[in-house]
Structure formats: C-alpha cells, structure tokens
Amino acid sequence: MCGVVGIAGKAPVNQMLFDALTMLQHRGQDAAGIVTCHEGRLFLRKDNGMVRDVFHTRHMRALLGNYGIGHVRYPTAGSSSSAEAQPFYVNSPYGITLAHNGNLVNAKDIHEDLFKTDLRHMNTDSDSEVLLNVFAHELQKSGKLEPCAEDIFHAVSRVHDRCKGAYGVVAMITGHGVVGFRDPNGIRPLIYGSRETEEGTEYIIASESVAITALGFKIERDVAPGEAIFIDSQGQLFTQQCAKNPSYRPCIFEYVYFARPDAIIDGISVYKSRLRMGETLAAKILREWGENHDIDVVIPIPDTSRTSALELANILGVKFREGFMKNRYIGRTFIMPGQQQRKKSVRQKLNPVELEFKGKNVLLVDDSIVRGTTCNEIIQMARDSGAKQVFFASAAPEVMYPNVYGIDMPAKFELIASGRSVEEVREIIGADRLIFQDLEDLKDAVRTKKVPHLTEFDCSVFDGIYVTGNIDEIYLEDLEKLRNDMAKKGKDPYIDVNIDAASVDLTGIREE
C-alpha cells in the first residue's frame, strides 16, 4: 500500500507536495520521493525513510517548479532498497515520471513483452516501472512533438487493456502537465481537488481526501474507475473515461484499516463506516454471547479500531477505556517485514495502563487479525496487567486469502485464520473468547444510500474472490515464494542490480 499525490500549481509546489505526503505517511513508511518540473527540467529527491527524514532544507530548495508528483511507499515485496523508491522516470517520450499505488498481477508477462516487443529496458522488476513503461510506450506511438489530451487518454486506455490489477497513478509529462488515472475496478483510491488563486486555478490529485483538504483545496470528486484526468501546462483540466467496462469494486480494507478515519473514499466517510462496523459487531456479540456477556470494559488496540470500539461499547452499555498508550515513534507493525521484528515492536509500541485491566473481564477490539502475532502479544500484556479474562473482537472478518492488489498479505500460511476455525484461532492467540465480524455486515457497514452505485467491493482477503478474474493457484504460489517472510530475510527477489537512486543523476533529472 502506498500514497501518491500530484499538484499542478501557479506557484512553487515543493512545500505543498511535502505537506501532502506527510498527510499520506500512514500509507507507507519505507521510502518517499518528490519530483518537480521547472523550465523543462526535472528535479528529483527520493530515498528510504519517512517524509521528514528524506527531505531536508537543501532538498526542498532544489525542488523547483509549479508542477510535481510525490510518493510514499511500503514494500509489498519486502524490498527495502532505495532503487525501488518512487517516482520512476523514463526519458522517452518527453520525459515521464510516475508514482503508483497498487499492484499489477500480470507484471511478469508485461515485463517480458516490453523488452522483447517494445524494446524497453527496465532497471528493476517493480510493477510500477512496468506500468510507467507501458504508458510511455503507448504515448510514444502518437509520434507527436506536442501531445494533446486525446493522445494521453488513448495511452491510458491502452494501459487498461494491457495492465491487470490495481492502480492509482499520478504521472508528470515534462513540459506538458500532470496525469492521474485509476484501474477499471477502482480497487485503489484516487481523488482530486482544486483551489482558486489570483493567478488561476490549482489542482491536486491524491490517494486520500485528507491530503486535499489539509492543503486548503476543495474536493471536486473521486476519479472514477478507469477514468483519467489531465491538467496541461496552461492549467486546463481534461477528464475522460478510458476503460471499456469499468465497475466500482474498491478495496474494502481501505475502510477497515488503511485509510485515515477522516478520509472520504468514493463518497463514503471512513469514520462513519467504522462506527457502523462497531454497531454490527456489537449486534453479533449480543446474538452469540447474549446480554450477559460478562464484559466489564471495552479497550481498543490503537489507533485504527478506536472508532469501532467506542460505538461497540456504547451499544453494549459497558465502559470504554484507553488501556494502551501508543508510542507514535514506532512504525505500523502490520507493514514491518519479518515476524520477529513485528513481535519485538509490539511491546515497544504499546504500553498498558494497568488500572484499566486489573480484576476485569476485558474486551479488546482490533480492526482485523492478519498474522495473529501482535494479538498474542497484546493479550498476554493484558493478562500481565491483571485482567481476569481477556476477550477479543475483530471489526473485520477472518483474513484467509492472500492479497494480490497491493497489500502485504501474500503468504497463505502466514494468515492465522487460513484453514482454521475460530476456536482454533482463539487458542493460538490465547483469548478466552474470540469473535469476528461477518462479511455481509462489513459490507453493509461501508455501504450508504448516499452512494447508491457502490454496492460491491474487493473483499478478496476475506472471500478469495479476485475481481480482476485472472488469479490462479500457480500465480499465488509464485507470489508466496517472492513475498513470504523467508524471502524478506534473504536477498531481495525483485532486484538483481542495486543502484542507489539517491546518488544517481538520471538524464534530465538533477538529484540534489
């Protein structure tokens, strides 16, 4: 999962891009990058690390120009090399830079085709670089010195034809403008906004609405599945549907975990969705555990589950308490490579308030249970703090299948609920009781009458149904070999030649 942003401004955009990436930092903490355009030249800074660590004053001063794109990344393939940091760049045609959130499921086939048929070389096996080269190759076919909006939209339509999977993309065509487009199923989010200035209208495209509103822009709307948006060098906005049969199937895990609670995705409030998740989960507890559920206090696992846990406590009529204090300088354990690293970081990240546990039957609420490692540690922390009984509730259903659309849930054997009953999972994590959200209840929690056209979602991690329709066991086995924890401990499977992107001066791009 990554975060992308593109800005077409009337004044320097370096600070705005930095601020937008800071608002999207929760979507990736492995690497960050910004590229801007000024007088036909590109200025790039990217490296491993958090936004605040990658960009210093000297870097910001060197990022010249009124147009630019940015990216924050976490490694879906376990790579931590700066060669994988985005944006990526190709010099032909025009000089194109691109940042991508998602994952292509046919990247391997396209990679080979790009080399043998299109004669394009790529420095990594990143699917983002594959996507960039497909877009560049299709745009080059126009043969024009000055591409128009129609040429760009045709190139995007060919990307949709060739690339299968999930993608929210921002790209910059040197001297011509900023492009944004979204996969035909709308699996990964993308939204745009505008702001009026004395010099004219400025535009922003981003993964989440929080990056738009925090910068003082007005939300226009979400980019529709399959749609492309282009802001040219004169500041004119063009949009067009570029997919033949688009459908709305956004990733439901955005609402469960990834997106910030104050985000609006496809017209749906993430905050309200999580409130409703608490409502439906409380209703299931009352059905299955009865009104005499023996819960003394509801405690959320910070931060994502707090909204659901609060509403659940209100409905059950029990106390809601903050029982864990979070160290905000430790990264999200879900996206940390390696079980041992995740396990070690849990006790560094969370510290219990013992008086909220001592002698009580505690219901811990989390947004989901993926590998189960952190659950086991947190439950033991509750017992060590004096809890009489520890119950556990997941605001999401059992995660039982690998994700292929950009979430690091690759190896089926790593998923604690895969092939196990609820009772077996309960025993492994050490809870006295365990309950999961029902999938239909989760869908109902996200659906809203205000967005009647959005009724279905990508729920592949819960039901094993892949909306792109081209996933088989061979693909999943190959993916598992590349992306399981053992692969993360060894050599990076995606990079044979490690070129430090922070020290390379690419043609046409000056790196400061």
Q: Give the end-to-end CA distance of the chain in Å, rounded to a whole number.
A: 27
- Return the bridge partners of 70, or none: 5, 34
Cβ atoms of 243 and 191 closer than 8 Å: no
**How many CB atoms within 10 Å of residue 258?**
25
Return the residue matching tokens 């690293």.
Answer: 341
Return the residue matching tokens 């390696």.
Answer: 338
Give, for 313, the enclosing helix (H) or strand (E): helix 306-316
117 labeled binding residue: no
- Return the bridge partners of 193, or none: 204, 219
Picking from 360, 395, 370, the residue whose alpha carbon sits closest to that of residue 273 is: 395
151 labeled binding residue: no
Cβ atoms of 171 and 135 closer than 8 Å: yes
**How many CB atoms within 10 Å of residue 5?**
30
222 labeled binding residue: no
Which pair of tokens denotes residue 320? 């809601």
- C-alpha to C-alpha distance for 380 and 402, rounded to whole angstroms: 27
Picking from 438, 425, 237, 278, the residue whose alpha carbon sits closest to that of residue 365 is: 278
- C-alpha to C-alpha distance for 272 and 446, rounded to whole angstroms: 8
**Residue 363 Ramachandran class (φ > 0 left, ψ -120 to 50 alpha, else beta):** beta
CA 163 to chain centre: 19
Cβ atoms of 242 and 139 closer than 8 Å: no
503 exposed, middle or buried (CB, 10 Å; 0-12, 13-18, 19+)?
exposed
Considering 2, 37, 251, 375, which one is annotated as catalytic?
Answer: 2
For the question of residue 2 being annotated catalytic, the response is: yes
C-alpha dihedral (420, 274, 209, 334), degrees to nearest 10: -30
- C-alpha to C-alpha distance for 393 and 298, rounded to whole angstroms: 10
Cβ atoms of 135 and 98 closer than 8 Å: yes
- C-alpha to C-alpha distance for 177 and 69, rounded to whole angstroms: 11
- C-alpha to C-alpha distance for 154 and 176, rounded to whole angstroms: 16
Binding residues: 304, 366-367
Binding residues for Mg(2+): 304, 366-367
Catalytic site residues?
Answer: 2
